[in-house]
Copies of this chain bind each other. A is one copy, B any other.
Amino acid sequence: MLDAAVQVFSRRGFHAANMDEIAELSGVSKPMVYAYLGTKEELFVACLQRESMRLVDNLQAAADPTLPPDQQLWQGMRGFFEFVGAHRDGWSVLYRQARNQHPFSVVVNAMRETVLEVITDRLDAAVRAEGRQAKSEDITAMALTLVGASESLADWLADHPEEDAGRTATRLMNAVWLGAEQLLRGELWRPGQE
Contact surface of A with B, Cβ cutoff 8 Å: 13, 15-16, 69-70, 73, 92, 96-97, 99-102, 123, 126-127, 130, 132, 134, 137-138, 141-142, 144-153, 155-156, 168, 171-172, 174-186
Counting every copy of the chain, the complex holds 2
- Provided the pairs A130-B185, A151-B148 are in contact, do residues A73 and B141 lie with their beta carbons within 8 angstroms? no
Tell whether, in the assembled complex, residue A130 and residue B186 are in contact, meaning their CB atoms are under 8 Å apart.
yes
| Residue on B nearest A98 in the bound complex, by CB | B100
| Residue on B nearest A182 in the bound complex, by CB | B179
* Cα distance, A175 to B180, chains bound together (Å): 9
Chain B residues within 8 Å of A152, by CB:
144-145, 147-149, 151
Among A99, A101, A137, A148, find the residue whose CB has the most chain B CB atoms closer than 10 A: A148
**Nearest CB of chain B from residue A136's CB, rounded to whole Å:** 12
